């Protein structure tokens, strides 16, 4: 199996340290903003403040009991912040780094001018301005750009220098990463590209990045989204994770005639049908390239407005594959998971 193309180490700044395993991009933002508020602080003080959860941790705490290398999580996030040029460390001190992308970093800091950092205060959602600023910053990170290139035509874009984020948004197509029913820390090494309908091997150093880090970053930034493709409807009866470019905003999608979309896609010559929610999400995401949350909002709205024709059927947890792993493939309405849409054709007076 052919290996996916990546940028040569000779073209990457400090390649040994360019593998970043800080999964939550909001925390990278928080480190930049925290250092900006402090202006300049001792590196030891930054680590101490992180240990005290003054900077919100990606999980419940920065230091977990029983972990041998208690500093590992903090080191990963500080290193990623430094490598991406958000902060700089020098002579035992840490401060914001405005050498590159000063405008973007100033925007991020400005958007958080009223932020307070305390162990009892959770991290905030990224604003649209922050998302765009981070997309610009990441466009210069070679390994992230390698990942985005995998969504594109390799013949048209022969290197990461030959495409922009605009090109990506316009010409990208979904990729599929082979899933597993067994939890894996490393992730899968098999990736299938829709654009050439070929399966490729993910380079070893990119497996964790492409399975976990980059999908998490770019989903948070609104550039990508993710759908589980279950064996029941995948092309080869295997579990896949479809990562797809978002080309239609939530607001734009919700302005469409959702009822007519569902009827035309799923009823055709029938008066009534039952659709499994994971399959419904997959089909609509493939067609419209809109966020998963937009599809769920549409279904919830139709259910509450006209449950006679758009009924979301409740399900028991055993019916779901694995609640904690796959619950995002279902819809939660009023505290209950819904696994099936019972769709009935409307009369003309109703539609």
Tens digits of residue pLDDT in 47-57 = 999 999 999 99
* Residue 263 burial class via C-beta count within 10 angstroms: exposed 0-12, middle 13-18, buried 19 and up: buried
What's the mean pLDDT in 185-198? 92
What's the rounded Cα separation, in Å, for the pair 191 and 34? 38
Query: Does residue 70 register a pLDDT over 90?
Result: no
What's the mean pLDDT in 2-26? 95
Q: Which of 100-114, 181-195, 279-293, 302-316 has the lowest mean pLDDT?
A: 181-195
What's the mean pLDDT in 60-87? 86
Q: pLDDT, tens digit, for every residue of 192-230?
A: 999 999 999 999 999 999 999 999 999 999 999 999 999
Query: Does residue 24 register a pLDDT over 60?
Result: yes
Q: pLDDT, tens digit, for every residue of 307-349?
A: 999 999 998 766 665 655 688 999 999 988 999 999 999 986 5
Look-up of token digits 């279902």: 330
Amino acid 186: pLDDT? 78
What's the rounded Cα separation, in Å, for the pair 42 and 195? 49
What's the mean pLDDT in 1-26? 95
Give the DSSP per-residue string, 235-280.
TTSS-EEEEEE--S-HHHHHTS-HHHHHIIIIITT-SEEEEEHHHH
Amino acid 318: pLDDT? 66
Q: pLDDT, tens digit, for every residue of 129-169?
A: 999 999 999 999 999 999 999 999 999 999 999 999 999 99
Query: Does residue 350 register a pLDDT over 80?
Result: no
What's the rounded Cα separation, in Å, for the pair 156 and 28? 33
Q: What are phi and psi of 177, to 5 degrees?
A: -105, 130
pTM as predicted: 0.93
Look-up of token digits 């800080």: 22
Q: In this structure, are residues 231 and 180 in contact, taking their beta carbons and an 8 Å threshold? A: no
Q: In this structure, are residues 222 and 246 in contact, taking their beta carbons and an 8 Å threshold? A: yes
Q: pLDDT, tens digit, for every residue of 234-274?
A: 999 999 999 999 999 999 999 999 999 999 999 988 999 99
Closest CA to 232 of 282, 183, 158, 186: 282
Amino acid 61: pLDDT? 81
Average pLDDT, the chain: 93
What's the rounded Cα separation, in Å, for the pair 174 and 192? 9
Query: For the domain 19-126, what is the CATH code?
Result: 1.10.10
Closest CA to 83 of 162, 9, 21: 21
Amino acid 351: pLDDT? 46
């Amino acid at each position: 199996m052919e290996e996916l193309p990546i940028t040569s180490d000779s073209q990457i700044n400090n390649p040994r340290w360019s593998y970043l395993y800080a999964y939550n991009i909001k925390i990278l933002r928080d480190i930049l903003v925290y250092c900006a508020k402090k202006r300049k602080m001792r590196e030891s003080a930054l680590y101490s403040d992180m240990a005290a959860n003054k900077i919100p941790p990606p999980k419940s705490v920065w230091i977990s009991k029983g972990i041998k290398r208690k500093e590992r999580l903090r080191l990963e996030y500080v290193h990623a912040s430094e490598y991406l040029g958000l902060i700089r460390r020098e002579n035992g001190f840490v401060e914001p780094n405005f050498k590159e992308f000063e405008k973007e970093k100033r925007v991020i800091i400005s958007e958080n001018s009223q932020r307070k950092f305390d162990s009892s205060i959770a991290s905030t959602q990224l604003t649209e301005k922050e998302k765009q600023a981070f997309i610009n910053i990441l466009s210069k990170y070679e390994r992230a750009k390698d990942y985005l290139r995998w969504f594109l035509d390799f013949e048209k874009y022969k290197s990461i220098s030959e495409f922009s984020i605009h090109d990506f948004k316009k010409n990208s197509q979904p990729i599929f990463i082979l899933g597993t029913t067994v939890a894996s820390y490393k992730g899968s090494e098999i990736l299938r590209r829709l654009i050439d309908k070929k399966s490729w091997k993910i380079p070893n150093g990119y497996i964790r990045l492409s399975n976990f880090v980059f999908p998490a970053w770019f989903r948070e930034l609104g550039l990508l989204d993710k759908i589980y493709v279950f064996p029941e409807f995948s092309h080869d009866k295997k579990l896949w994770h479809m990562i797809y470019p978002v080309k239609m905003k939530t607001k734009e999608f919700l302005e469409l005639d959702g009822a007519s979309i569902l009827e035309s896609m799923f009823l055709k010559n029938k008066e009534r049908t039952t659709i499994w929610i994971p399959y419904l999400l997959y089909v609509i995401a493939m067609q419209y390239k809109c966020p998963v949350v937009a599809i769920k909002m549409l279904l919830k709205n139709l259910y509450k407005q006209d449950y006679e024709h758009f009924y979301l059927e409740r399900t028991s947890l055993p019916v779901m594959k694995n609640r904690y792993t796959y619950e995002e493939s279902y819809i939660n309405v009023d505290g209950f998971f819904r696994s099936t849409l019972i769709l009935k054709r409307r009369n003309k007076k109703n539609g």
